[in-house]
Chain A
């Protein structure tokens, strides 16, 4: 295989929040632990997983925009350099761009054209981006509330491409879009990747991600349980490694619509051992204690002692 350059790698990331319980008592709530991902140039890494498993927090950690009461541990590397706070500040909105979850990120009182130009872009670059996304000239002077869902989505993409981003983090770019529009947005991301960028695509529309991504990372309770080539997800449970990834696949309406019981544990009360054992259909005694290390398996990574 051709050696592609790593754009981002995140190793053993953990994120904790300082919480103040009823005034005086302070406790640390660890919401992300042992999280590992990487993205190469030209690649879309899709991140699937439980609601509240830390996907948006990972996005914030990469951009360096976590709230003040959060503390981060672990190593993040961007194009071979350690991604320090200073570097994040320097690259944010330029080389590293966020396609935010909603138009709520746009200033409601400002024309969208000037917002896309922002502080770093130029009028010319904005027009190029608008042309690329088939946004007509009138759109430049519209306010966010005047945009349809699909237009808003393309505006948000424009803000990401205008700064020559090499790494784009798209946080849930498709909910609320019709199937055609969602496919359109995915197609745009695919093109941006094919031009050499690295894309992190956070999404619940996993069947759509299976069509457009190169690899998929599955999150559960703040950690990566499996990372695998997208073909394995297209193939289904026999090709997947972790019981939770299989359960995700089987819960899709087109694949049986069968949910496993139970809910993801709350960050304050995680179980001993494997974080998934309380819901795992194939757990044994050995799963309920100690650290479950991540290991390579069949061209992917998995965090499960019984995976084959």
Chain B
């Protein structure tokens, strides 16, 4: 099992348990879509799988080992609002190299133009910003990508572009992938298996 969540329980407040004993396993070579009603806890689970939050109960294993608590997480999360994931006061070149120094090949793969590096986030479109967020998450130690509604706010051409770029890198580097989406047609197009949240 490449990525495995075992008996995850999580709540933000005492009143309501968002994730109640949820388990999930993704094998190497699989591309899994996670679908479910809004507010059911897909984003919460994604954040736990990427090590952003600790579950109240249960564990996340990557490649048989517990997710590291310190240092670079092999599971990287890309989410819906790139503008919220980027410091608005930094030029994008600085944002890009914050965690590691991407090489030209990756920038080319992501369709990031040199000139964009000297711009501020408000001078870029959502699709352009999302390319930066992806590039930033593609460090050499990234082994698994979670895309949580990654292209929901984008027009359909930009969506198709971003998926083409990401799938190219995922294939090239043989990464695992979990896709959270509301679009069953998208899930069908890019994934090998669909998990319904309610049935987990």
| Chain A residues packing against B (C-beta within 8 Å) | 48-53, 148-150, 172, 175-179, 181-182, 204, 206-207, 247-248, 251-254, 257-261, 263-264, 266, 268
CA distance A268 to B152 in the complex (A): 26
CA distance A169 to B189 in the complex (A): 32
Q: Which residues of A contact B161 (CB under 8 A)?
A: 259, 261
Residue of A with least CB distance to B123: A266
Residue of B with least CB distance to A180: B37
A257 touches B149 (CB 8 A): no
A253 touches B127 (CB 8 A): no
CA distance A179 to B36 in the complex (A): 10
Instruction: Report which of B38, B80, B183, B188 forms a contact with A181, defined as CB distance below 8 A.
Output: B38
> B200 an interface residue at 8 Å Cβ cutoff?
no
A254 touches B153 (CB 8 A): no
B157 touches A251 (CB 8 A): yes
A148 touches B188 (CB 8 A): no
Q: Which residues of A contact B189 (CB under 8 A)?
A: 253-254, 257
A149 touches B39 (CB 8 A): yes
A181 touches B37 (CB 8 A): yes
Residue of B with least CB distance to A50: B155
A252 touches B152 (CB 8 A): no
Instruction: Report which of A51, A148, A258 forms a contact with B155, defined as CB distance below 8 A.
Output: A51
> B61 an interface residue at 8 Å Cβ cutoff?
no
CA distance A292 to B138 in the complex (A): 42
A260 touches B157 (CB 8 A): yes
| Chain B residues packing against A (C-beta within 8 Å) | 35-39, 80, 111, 123-128, 149, 152-161, 163-164, 182-186, 188-189
Known contacts A51-B127, A179-B182, A257-B189; is-contact A247 B36 (Cβ 8 Å): no
Known contacts A51-B126, A253-B185; is-contact A204 B37 (Cβ 8 Å): no
Known contacts A181-B38, A253-B186, A254-B185; is-contact A204 B127 (Cβ 8 Å): no
A248 touches B156 (CB 8 A): yes
Known contacts A176-B182, A263-B128; is-contact A148 B158 (Cβ 8 Å): no
CA distance A264 to B155 in the complex (A): 11
Q: List 16 A-B contacts (CB under 8 A).
A: A51-B155, A148-B38, A148-B39, A150-B37, A172-B153, A175-B149, A175-B152, A175-B182, A178-B38, A178-B182, A207-B185, A257-B163, A257-B189, A260-B157, A263-B127, A266-B124
Q: Which residues of B contact A207 (CB under 8 A)?
A: 185
CA distance A48 to B155 in the complex (A): 8
CA distance A258 to B189 in the complex (A): 12
Most B CB contacts (10 A, CB to CB) among A51, A252, A254 go to A51
Q: Which residues of A contact B160 (CB under 8 A)?
A: 251, 253, 257-259
> Nearest Cβ distance between residue A293 and chain B, in whole angstroms?
25
Q: Which residues of A contact B128 (CB under 8 A)?
A: 263
> Nearest Cβ distance between residue A144 and chain B, in whole angstroms?
12
> Nearest Cβ distance between residue A213 and chain B, in whole angstroms?
16
A51 touches B158 (CB 8 A): yes
> Nearest Cβ distance between residue A284 and chain B, in whole angstroms?
22
A176 touches B152 (CB 8 A): yes
Q: Which residues of A contact B159 (CB under 8 A)?
A: 251, 259
Q: Which residues of B contact A258 (CB under 8 A)?
A: 160
A204 touches B39 (CB 8 A): no
CA distance A206 to B37 in the complex (A): 20
A253 touches B164 (CB 8 A): no
CA distance A77 to B195 in the complex (A): 50
Q: Which residues of B contact A51 (CB under 8 A)?
A: 125-127, 153-155, 158
Q: Which residues of B contact A264 (CB under 8 A)?
A: 125
> Nearest Cβ distance between residue A62 and chain B, in whole angstroms?
21
Q: Which residues of B contact A150 (CB under 8 A)?
A: 37-38
CA distance A253 to B152 in the complex (A): 13
Instruction: Report which of A206, A253, A259, A260 forms a contact with B188, defined as CB distance below 8 A.
Output: A253
A176 touches B38 (CB 8 A): yes
> Nearest Cβ distance between residue B22 and chain A, in whole angstroms?
18
> Nearest Cβ distance between residue B198 and chain A, in whole angstroms?
11
Q: Which residues of A contact B186 (CB under 8 A)?
A: 253
B154 touches A204 (CB 8 A): yes
Q: Which residues of A contact B125 (CB under 8 A)?
A: 50-52, 263-264, 266
Q: Which residues of A contact B154 (CB under 8 A)?
A: 51, 204
Known: A53-B155, A204-B153. 4 other contacts (CB 8 A): A251-B156, A251-B159, A252-B185, A266-B124
